[in-house]
Amino acid sequence: MTHSHVTTTINGDTVDYLCDAEETLLDVLRDRLGMTGAKEGCGTGDCGACTVEMDGRIVCSCLVLGAEADGRSIRTIEGMAKGEELHPLQRHFLEGAALQCGICTPGILVAARALLEKNPNPSETEIRYWLAGNLCRCTGYDKIIRAVQNAAAEMRGESNAA
């Protein structure tokens, strides 16, 4: 079995690990590094529960080999909050009851953060399009969309964010 030594940046910190050739980034994050925010929903890249950001692009970590992270910059849900202070997206998800079982939530939050960093004032259609790769069986999406809109408004400095 071939092992790879990987040096990568995860949430701003340099991380070194060894992984097997066939190990996915999702497996490495969860099993080797103890970062259990990303979830395995389908294992085929269809549900988005394992979404992370790699070099500024959202990817399904179940489809990326752990060795492919070498020299890359990875952002996960674990890097979203600043200490005890939740990111506005996280807070609005909680306040707006935009989550239920929580399996999809980390992936949706990572994808929504990437959207708001690229487009701080997205339309509802743009939010729905951007999050289309993240499936949720519990919420019906409306509360998720509202939470993203409210977080975006707050992040733009609008005081009417609810």
pLDDT tens track for 27-57: 999 999 999 999 999 999 999 999 999 999 9
Residue 76 confidence (pLDDT): 98
Contact in structure between 25 and 65 (CB atoms under 8 Å): yes
The fraction of the chain above a pLDDT of 90, given in percent, is: 93
Q: What is the pTM of this model?
A: 0.94
Domains identified in the chain and CATH numbers: 3-79 (3.10.20.30), 88-155 (1.10.150.120)
Of 45-59, 64-78, 130-144, the range with the lowest mean pLDDT is 130-144
Residue 160 clears pLDDT 80, i.e. is over it? no
Q: How many residues does the chain have?
A: 162
Residue 2 confidence (pLDDT): 82
C-alpha span between 104 and 106 (Å, rounded): 6
C-alpha span between 83 and 101 (Å, rounded): 24
C-alpha span between 101 and 139 (Å, rounded): 9
Residue 162 clears pLDDT 70, i.e. is over it? no
pLDDT band at residue 7 under the 50/70/90 scheme: very high
Q: pLDDT tens-digit profile of 73-108?
A: 999 999 999 999 999 999 999 999 999 999 999 999
Provide the mean pLDDT of the chain: 95
Residue 68 confidence (pLDDT): 97
